[in-house]
Amino acid sequence: MRSHARVVIVGGGVMGVGLLYHLALEGWNELVLIEKGELTSGSTWHAAGQCPHFNGSLNISKVHLYGTQLYPQLGELTGHAVSWHPCGGLRLVRTEEELRWAKHVYGISRLAGYEAHLIGPAEIRKLHPYLETFGIKAAFLTLTDGHVAPADVTHAMAAGARQRGAEICRRTRVTGIRQLPGGEWEVATEAGNIVCEHVVNSAGSYCAVVGAWTGLNVPISNLLHHYVITEPLQELIDLKPELPVVRDPYSNSYLREEGNGVLVGPYETATAHACWAGAPPPWNFESELVAPELERLMPWLEKASERLPLFARAGVKSVISGAITHTPDGVYLSGPAPGLRNYWMHCGASIGIAQGAGAGKYLAQWMVHGQAEISMREFDPRRFGDWATREYTATTAIEDYQHMYYCYAPGEQHPVGRGLRKSTLYDALAAQGAQFAQIFGWERPRWYGTAGQSERFSWARSNWWEPVKEEALAVRERVGLMDLSTFSKYEVRGADACAFLDRICPNRLPRQDGRIVLTHLLTADGFIESEITVTRLAPDHFYLLSAAVAQLHDKDQLELRKRPGERVCIADLTDAYGVLVLAGPAAREILATLACADLSNASFPWLSARETEVAGVAGVRLLRVNYVGELGWELHVPMGQMPTVYRALMSAGKAHGIRLFGTYAMNSLRMEKAYRGWGSELTAEVTLVEAGMERFIDYEKDFIGRAGTIRSRDGGPRTLLAYLEVDAEDADCLGSEPVYCGGSLAGVTTSGAFGFAVKKSLAFAYLEPRLATAGVELTVLVRGEERAARVIDQPLWDRNNERLRA
């Protein structure tokens, strides 16, 4: 084995090999993959090999589509035969809500570019004459789905990587990973040490153990999964072409043909459990099955027999049972490990055969080019923090497994693993009917209901509609109060703090103490990485705010941009401060009764800040800024003192009709102001020019990403963000809906909401630049229904910012 490499990948399953192949295709050399057994000897060898397209996420759909396009060609590309079965797929749909979900996914199929149809029971029976269609309303038909032998694709990609110079060391266990003082990684193996620039944890069921060597908390659980294969059946021997793979929420199973028999794989619910009693597999576990537990499957196999009576007619030939890695949200981990330069995670896949090629392609792009062509936010391992404890991961991962065929409605979340991070107002807000959502471990109010009420999750407007309308109008007409403690908060201090921020931010930094700017961090090529609000507290002391889910991501963006020797100290203050947003025409009058500060416009203008005492609480940071577009302040309060300030504000606000509001109302209000959101409008797929954010760029100075930003401006943007008014009926845009102009696909929505003050359904969409002009008529496919829409001037509410500067 060589002693130096550019990249060392630990693990030779479909994920590790998929990455190796794509790094080689990208032209990188000195690539080494180390596998303790044989390639595929972990989970990959015994997977059922199904590769579906349908998915509720546009980015994941792109990952799937790449695999189904690559696998049929892989034999020819690599000279290693691949048995691709293009049999198609039927995802059965039982309820009205599932149908709305399927229609949303249909919209995603238009954007991703795969063929899909929604068909009724009669057509289902034509395609699958042996299937019983009781309780079925429709099916989501994907003609280009297939299944493949997992070992074929893995070995073919390995062959392709070797042909481009990559090395694969089999039968060599990695025993440790440590970072050397110079930043390189030293990978210890049974065959000696190897030093590399980048290391990748692709260790499948062992990824948490491998991660722990460098102090990483890797949130995966190894869950036991089975499928059974019957003896051949004459009906299937006689039948051509092969039946489509069926995914059936009634039996919670996939059902397909295999060797002229039937293959059934159930995702059992109550009896689902982890392998090896929740511990990692023993190191000598290789190409083995986990002991099957058929008894547990019986109820599901019986249901599968009702759906496909043919299945009950044949004897079981084999039972395959093995470990599948599941993460708390069911999406694999692919991207930088938190806090570590050039340590990449690429593991946690629960449908790794379908995803291995695409996952490898996009991570290779990220490693080689500093970003991928799709947004990697959903896959970024830094979406989980230390709050994702072992217990949390164990309960949520099991639920993810149980819910493989469950259609989560928008906003619906795991009911388990809750209450991990709470502001000190949690109980007080719960008593007011707060409907909480989990975000980066935090419980954050979405809206306020009446006692005992809970959200009816739906693809249409639901029981939150009227309360949210009242919340939003209270902010516009009187005053609202929101607990937004979930903000990620950092302090940047030191002699070089100002120069450092100036170098990494495209916007001009505040020139005076107590001033605020909104700015971004860009990739080297000028694409949007982060959005942060910077407040200058002193010439060498800045207070930074960013999105809740970005806490680890943005900490890395700051830390990893520091130059050696730069005198900058970055501290994470997220848990130290709670945040209350007081917004609305009466905000000044209310706050003036409690704050020891002159709140007049002259002494406390828009985009300024100061530290003062509020309601007897010292050290409250008041920031005159908000995301709802009204007169108001954010109060950053020492977390322990939040209840005092909250009670005082509620009491002082009573005479003004103060109302608590949550993130649903905030979303509606920010849409009325056309404020972009990080992660929806602002992603690494676009530049600030394309996002219509040029006013936040100071072209006169140098900053990371400047050349790319200028290229985007001068070369003409590839796309432009447009603000749409949509003739919605009972459902507003969510994002990832296709937009058409004159019958042709013209763009994609990124988010939307109903604006209660402007009485319009609003959306953002990236469009071909020539169409992003007020007055252009469009059609948006909202839950599969065509809705007329038009581009409008931004924003609809308070165009001249008179209210927020009042």
Ligand X SMILES: Cc1cc2nc3c(=O)[nH]c(=O)nc-3n(C[C@H](O)[C@H](O)[C@H](O)COP(=O)(O)OP(=O)(O)OC[C@H]3O[C@@H](n4cnc5c(N)ncnc54)[C@H](O)[C@@H]3O)c2cc1C
Nearer to ligand X, 147 or 553 (CB): 147
Q: Does the protein bind ligand X through residue 350 (CB under 6 A)? A: yes
What values do phi and psi take at 543, rounded to 5?
Answer: -115, 125
Query: Rounded to the nearest whole angstrom, what is the least distance from the CB of residue 489 to ligand X in the complex?
Result: 35
Q: Does the protein bind ligand X through residue 263 (CB under 6 A)? A: no
- Single-letter amino acid, residue 385: G
If binding means CB under 6 A, how many residues of this protein chain bind ligand X?
41
Nearer to ligand X, 351 or 724 (CB): 351
- Single-letter amino acid, residue 168: I
Query: Rounded to the nearest whole angstrom, what is the least distance from the CB of residue 465 to ligand X in the complex?
Result: 38
CA-wise closest residue to 313 among 261, 249, 369? 261
Kindly tell me which residue out of 159, 347, 437, 552 binds ligand X, with binding defined by CB under 6 A: 347
Q: Strand 488-493 relative to strand 541-546: parallel, antiparallel, unpaired?
A: antiparallel
Query: Rounded to the nearest whole angstrom, what is the least distance from the CB of residue 440 to ligand X in the complex?
Result: 25
Query: Rounded to the nearest whole angstrom, what is the least distance from the CB of residue 144 to ligand X in the complex?
Result: 15
The answer to whether residues 724 and 771 touch, using CB atoms and an 8 Å cutoff, is no
Query: Rounded to the nearest whole angstrom, what is the least distance from the CB of residue 208 to ligand X in the complex?
Result: 10
Query: Rounded to the nearest whole angstrom, what is the least distance from the CB of residue 213 to ligand X in the complex?
Result: 9
Kindly tell me which residue out of 8, 19, 31, 47 binds ligand X, with binding defined by CB under 6 A: 47
Q: Is 373 helix (H, G, I), strand (E, B) or coil?
A: coil
Query: Rounded to the nearest whole angstrom, what is the least distance from the CB of residue 9 to ligand X in the complex?
Result: 9
First-to-final CA distance of the chain:
69
- Single-letter amino acid, residue 267: Y
Q: Does the protein bind ligand X through residue 49 (CB under 6 A)? A: yes
Nearer to ligand X, 64 or 421 (CB): 64
Q: Does the protein bind ligand X through residue 61 (CB under 6 A)? A: no
Kindly tell me which residue out of 263, 320, 550, 731 binds ligand X, with binding defined by CB under 6 A: 320
Which of positions 226-255 make contact with ligand X (CB under 6 A)? Answer: 227
The answer to whether residues 379 and 373 touch, using CB atoms and an 8 Å cutoff, is no
Q: Does the protein bind ligand X through residue 205 (CB under 6 A)? A: yes
Nearer to ligand X, 44 or 663 (CB): 44
Matching residue, tokens 């799937």: 64
What values do phi and psi take at 646, rounded to 5?
Answer: -60, -50
For the beta carbon of residue 141, count every other beta carbon within 10 angstroms: 20
Query: Rounded to the nearest whole angstrom, what is the least distance from the CB of residue 92 to ligand X in the complex?
Result: 17
Interface pattern 12-41 for ligand X (x via CB under 6 A): xxxxx-----------------xxxx---x
CA-wise closest residue to 646 among 591, 605, 575, 584? 591
Q: Is 422 exposed, middle or buried (0-12, 13-18, 19+ CB in 10 A)?
A: middle
For helices 352-369 and 14-25, give the axis angle rounded to 10 degrees. 40
Q: How far is CA 633 from CA 98, 591, 805, in A?
A: 42, 9, 11
User: Radius of gyration (Cα) for the chain, nearest Å?
Assistant: 27
Which of positions 156-195 make contact with ligand X (CB under 6 A)? Answer: 173-174
Q: Is 68 helix (H, G, I), strand (E, B) or coil?
A: helix
Q: Does the protein bind ligand X through residue 48 (CB under 6 A)? A: yes
Nearer to ligand X, 321 or 779 (CB): 321
Q: Does the protein bind ligand X through residue 352 (CB under 6 A)? A: yes
Q: Does the protein bind ligand X through residue 624 (CB under 6 A)? A: no
Q: Does the protein bind ligand X through residue 354 (CB under 6 A)? A: yes
Nearer to ligand X, 354 or 501 (CB): 354
Query: Rounded to the nearest whole angstrom, what is the least distance from the CB of residue 87 to ligand X in the complex?
Result: 13
- 155 φ/ψ sector (left φ>0, alpha ψ -120 to 50, else beta): alpha
Nearer to ligand X, 37 or 752 (CB): 37
- Reading the block at residue 581, the tokens are 């947003």
Kindly tell me which residue out of 43, 423, 458, 750 binds ligand X, with binding defined by CB under 6 A: 43
- Reading the block at residue 307, the tokens are 């759906």
Kindly tell me which residue out of 103, 225, 444, 553 binds ligand X, with binding defined by CB under 6 A: 225
Q: How far is CA 599 from CA 307, 481, 615, in A?
A: 68, 18, 15
Nearer to ligand X, 258 or 737 (CB): 258
Q: Does the protein bind ligand X through residue 206 (CB under 6 A)? A: yes
Q: Does the protein bind ligand X through residue 203 (CB under 6 A)? A: yes
Show the DSSP H helices in 113-245 as ranges.
121-127, 150-163, 207-212, 234-238
Matching residue, tokens 């217990």: 391
SS3 content of the chain, % helix, strand, coil (to 5): 30, 30, 40
Nearer to ligand X, 178 or 567 (CB): 178
Q: What residues make contact with ligand X under the rule CB under 6 A?
A: 10-16, 34-37, 41-44, 46-50, 173-174, 202-206, 210, 225, 227, 320, 322-324, 347, 349-354
